[in-house]
Structure 1
Amino acid sequence: MNLKKYTVAELLETHTAVLNELRDREILRSANNPTGDYAEWLFCQAFGWDQAANSVKGFDATDAEGIRYQIKGRRLHQLNTSRQLSAIRDMSGFDVLAGVLFDAAFVVSRAALIPSELVRDRSKFTEHTNSHRFLLRDDIWNAEGVVDVTANLQQVASNSDV
């Protein structure tokens, strides 16, 4: 697709149409940046978790045993390679952090299930945002209790022709 031939208005209209189609397919749930919604959808599809309502505080999904998952995604791009996940406001609201790193084209690079104790130990409180900051660095995958689920999410992503 040669995007150079489109006007700014046409590009933004296309962007809006793509986001609307992803919402129609129930992959996205909001009008926000699609990274978080896509991460939630991938994890729930991969593991059969029940997605919580948008208004639920502290977790995004639960499994059949009642384990609460906080789901976070980060899209890495040449202009921003930070591994900082979005703000965690309720450190006691989840049992496991499900984190995924995407490349610039939303391809799953790495994904993990991280025990909440490890997240608490490696997070820093930021008074300015009244939240905790957690970086999904490569060494997390070597930490005790962390489960690498990259292949699970990659499989869902490659088969997601909803």
Structure 2
Amino acid sequence: MNDLNGKSIAEMLALHAAINEELRSRDVLRSANNPTGDLAEYLFCTAFGWEQEANSKKGFDAVDSDGVRYQIKGRRLHRRNKSRQMSAIRSTDGFDILAGVLFNDDFCVIRAALIPASVVFERTSFVDYTKSHKFYLRDDVWDAAGVSDVTERLRAVEQA
């Protein structure tokens, strides 16, 4: 790893931008946003052979060969923020399975699961202000009926 202590703010931001551009050229990232969501989509779609939808598709991010719709969510657990709240779920009927992954500080997979929509909505709360559902990817989710632990499948892609 490069020593960043001697780098200026401008140099570090340029390095950050260059890294993101390289990840986009490798089709890991699709947007200029925070890489967490794009990385989650890349890992799941690569691991399972799903077809990614256009970024503007409402309610789901990918589809498998049987037509099953997947909403893909990722959360980076940072030493300064350990919240497991996933990004807002706006559509209650837009997906069949939520594919969720937790990353550590360095964007390495901690845990990943495929969660039936019924399990997700048993565990969400509606937020009127944002007109969306709030879901936390807590450890007990892996114990729910129908949930599949796919951690090793994503780690295999991440390490390839």
Q: TM-score, normalising length from structure 2? A: 0.98
Q: How does 1:1-162 map to 2 (within 5 A)?
A: 1-159=2-160
**Displacement of 1:61 after TM fit?**
0.2
**Displacement of 1:134 after TM fit?**
0.2
| Aligned CA-pair RMSD | 0.5
Give the counterpart letter for 1:154 in structure 2: R
**Displacement of 1:6 after TM fit?**
0.3
Q: Distance in 2 between matches of 1:130 and 1:24?
A: 35
Unaligned 5+ runs, structure 1: none
Q: Distance in 2 between matches of 1:123 and 1:98?
A: 15
Equivalenced residues, count: 159
Q: Distance in 2 between matches of 1:19 and 1:131?
A: 29
Q: Distance in 1 between matches of 2:37 and 2:101?
A: 10
The sequence identity of aligned pairs, in percent, is: 60
Q: Deviations over 1:129-152 (max 9, x none)?
A: 111100000000011100000000
Unaligned 5+ runs, structure 2: none
Give the counterpart letter for 2:125 in structure 1: K
- Determine helix, strand or coil for the equivalent of 1:73: strand
Give the counterpart letter for 1:134 in structure 2: F
Give the counterpart letter for 1:92 in structure 2: D
**Displacement of 1:154 after TM fit?**
0.3
- Determine helix, strand or coil for the equivalent of 1:31: coil
Q: Distance in 2 between matches of 1:10 and 1:136?
A: 36
Structure 1 residue ranges, 4+ long, deviating more than 2 angstroms after superposition: none
